[in-house]
């Protein structure tokens, strides 16, 4: 999950944003401003940005279906186990 920063906090000090970014949390969302991503390579950072954009679009579009029903922490863990199988997957053409 991305860290959420209030607008203006990105200017509060030089260590605010870098202290939030890590390999476990490569995305920071600045409210009403931007999304900051980091990766080992440019392609990895772009991939994180693309996932964040798609997730945001999905959340906005899903409002047409009705109220969002959050999934439980247990369901998130189960999804994580399934997704971890693809962690080292490399797509080739």
The structure tokens listed for 70 are 């959050």
Alpha-carbon distance of 81 to 75, in angstroms, equals 10
When pLDDT is cut at 50, 70 and 90, the band that residue 81 belongs to is confident
Summarize pLDDT for 14-67 with one digit per residue, the tens. 677 888 888 888 999 888 888 999 999 999 999 999 999 999 899 899 989 998
Q: ∠ CA 86-44-49 to the nearest 5 degrees?
A: 100
- Residue 23 is given by DSSP the state S
CA distances from 46 to 14, 25, 42, 43, 92 (A): 23, 15, 6, 5, 17
Query: What pLDDT does 91 receive?
Result: 53
Residue given tokens 């991305």 in the structure block: 2
When pLDDT is cut at 50, 70 and 90, the band that residue 87 belongs to is low
Alpha-carbon distance of 8 to 30, in angstroms, equals 8
Query: What pLDDT does 84 receive?
Result: 80
When pLDDT is cut at 50, 70 and 90, the band that residue 82 belongs to is confident
When pLDDT is cut at 50, 70 and 90, the band that residue 88 belongs to is low
């Amino acid at each position: 999950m991305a860290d959420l920063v209030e607008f203006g906090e990105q200017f509060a000090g030089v260590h605010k944003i870098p202290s939030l970014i890590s390999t476990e949390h490569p995305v920071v969302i600045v409210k009403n401003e931007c999304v900051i991503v980091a990766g080992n390579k440019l392609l990895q950072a772009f991939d994180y940005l693309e996932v964040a954009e798609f997730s945001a679009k999905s959340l906005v579009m899903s409002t047409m279906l009705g109220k969002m029903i959050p999934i439980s922490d247990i369901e998130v863990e189960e999804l994580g186990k399934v997704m971890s199988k693809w962690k080292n997957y490399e797509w080739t053409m």
